[in-house]
Amino acid sequence: MDSINPATGEVIETYDDHTADDVDSILDESAAVTSDWAETPITDRQQLLERAADVLRDNEDEYAELITHEMGKPISESRAEVEKCAWVCEYYAERAGEFLADRVIGSEPNARTFVSYEPLGAVLAVMPWNFPFWQVFRFAAPHLTAGNVGLLKHASNVPGCALAIEDVFREAGYPEGVFSTLLVDSEKMEDVIRDDRLDALTLTGSEGAGRTVAEQAGNELKKHVLELGGSDPFVVCEDADLDAAAETGVAARTINSGQSCIAAKRFIVVDAVYEDFLDQFVQEMEALEVGDPTDSDTEVGPQAREDLVEDLHEQVEASVDAGADLACGGGPMDREGWYYPPTVLAEPPMDSPAATEEVFGPVAAVFRAEDEADAIEMANDTHYGLGASIWTADLERGEGLAREIDAGCVFVNELVKSDPRVPFGGVKASGYGRELGKEGIHEFVNRKTVWVQSPGDEDDAVPTE
């Protein structure tokens, strides 16, 4: 696997893939430690997770530079990503015991009935390159602490990050085999998914990858969670604070240089404020600093791979050809590296790529809606359903509109974000299952019902099937 710097196109380092024998040994090691790790007191597992947070913070600069060099994220965002990983570790170090405590249920006077949360075993995480540390830690922090062991198949363009994350857990004191990295191509994942030593899996990635993994996991009857793509609407009502909406909208579209599943991608603005919002939004997009991602002043860095720039430009060209107005940007930048400028497409047709596809890069599509009702209809006119953002001065209206949006999460007067404290995930083609929060840690546990009847009470029992 080649690690290539997107800002220069140069190979940073080449890593040897794991062979079939290597994979077999890693699965054996995971299987061997599964029972002991599940029986480790949760307080011990929480303490180890707290140490992982310390390791992340102690090495923040090193990890941030690695992220930036491997996938091109601006260095300020890379540092923020490492800090967020430490936060999710601290969150579950504090709350996992509470979330996994037996839940007592009333049944009969002479019986104790409760739900016990017990680990499933070995869980595979197939993770993407765009948030190479955060995506992994939001999986690992809850599910290792729940008593599962973790296996990571990371994106092939961030092998250095994958191995660094494995080292974080090793340095924190986790037993060998509790968290392991598989440096293999995606084509070899089917054999791993079929392996009896694997009990469950989760994937964050494209809709196509999700469908493939869901079919394979379903055929093996293995529990799985999917967090897939999105085409998030950003709805601006006529009473919105346009300054705040435009400023936050630009951040929501261009975070991670536009390469985020939950980035705002379709800006749907009611007619009464459309022109004013568009003017402010374009000005904000054009003012962004595009440049070397290692420079702390850079706000938009390169795209992670050359093919991603090509795909992005094809979508822009097709949308313009279909009738969209190119308000700014619109073509690969003439410089070293894989750069695409902040771009705004005004009023693209509803059958253009900007309206129907996930556009993964710093390209915003701004649509005109007749009124609020039309805006909500347009927001829901997508087969995706990951997140949405609504902007209005009327908080009661905002909450009401949030309930009308078909998405896994809706934010009012705020950009869509993942937060350790609240569940995260999508509906429709954006996947199923939840990460983070209390709901997230329960995805990969056996929610076992236990009924303990007092001796001698058999005659009082109610007959059941």
Alpha-carbon gap, residue 338 to 249, rounded angstroms: 24
Which pLDDT belongs to residue 28? 98
DSSP designation for 256: G
Alpha-carbon gap, residue 229 to 359, rounded angstroms: 10
User: Do 129 and 243 have their domain in common?
Assistant: no
User: Do 216 and 94 have their domain in common?
Assistant: yes
Domain contains 465: no
Which pLDDT belongs to residue 460? 52
Which pLDDT belongs to residue 52? 98
Query: For 389-443, what is each residue's pLDDT tens digit?
Result: 999 999 999 999 999 999 999 999 999 999 999 999 999 999 999 999 999 999 9
User: Do 307 and 322 have their domain in common?
Assistant: yes
User: Do 157 and 90 have their domain in common?
Assistant: yes
Domain contains 459: no
CATH code where residue 192 lies: 3.40.605.10
Q: Report the first-to-last Cα separation within the chain, whole angstroms.
A: 56
User: Do 374 and 438 have their domain in common?
Assistant: no
Q: Which long-range contacts (CB under 8 A, 24 or more apart) does 211-214 make?
A: 213/126, 213/189
Q: Is the dihedral of CA 368, 372, 374, 380 positive or negative?
A: positive
Query: For 95-151, what is each residue's pLDDT tens digit?
Result: 999 999 999 999 999 999 999 999 999 999 999 999 999 999 999 999 999 999 999
Containing structural domain, residue 322:
232-412
Active site residues: 227, 261
User: Do 127 and 252 have their domain in common?
Assistant: no
User: Do 189 and 202 have their domain in common?
Assistant: yes
Domain contains 28: yes
Task: List 182's β-bridge partners, or say none.
Answer: none
User: Do 182 and 51 have their domain in common?
Assistant: yes
Domain contains 39: yes
Query: For 436-460, what is each residue's pLDDT tens digit?
Result: 999 999 999 999 999 999 997 555 5
User: Do 178 and 130 have their domain in common?
Assistant: yes
Q: The pTM is what?
A: 0.96
Identify the domain boundary among 389, 412, 435: 412
User: Do 274 and 176 have their domain in common?
Assistant: no
Q: Which residues lie closer than 8 Å to 298 by C-beta, 6 or more apart? A: 74, 75, 76, 289, 290, 291, 292
Number of domains observed in the structure of the chain: 2
Domain contains 84: yes
Task: List 345's β-bridge partners, or say none.
Answer: 326, 365
Alpha-carbon gap, residue 12 to 4, rounded angstroms: 5
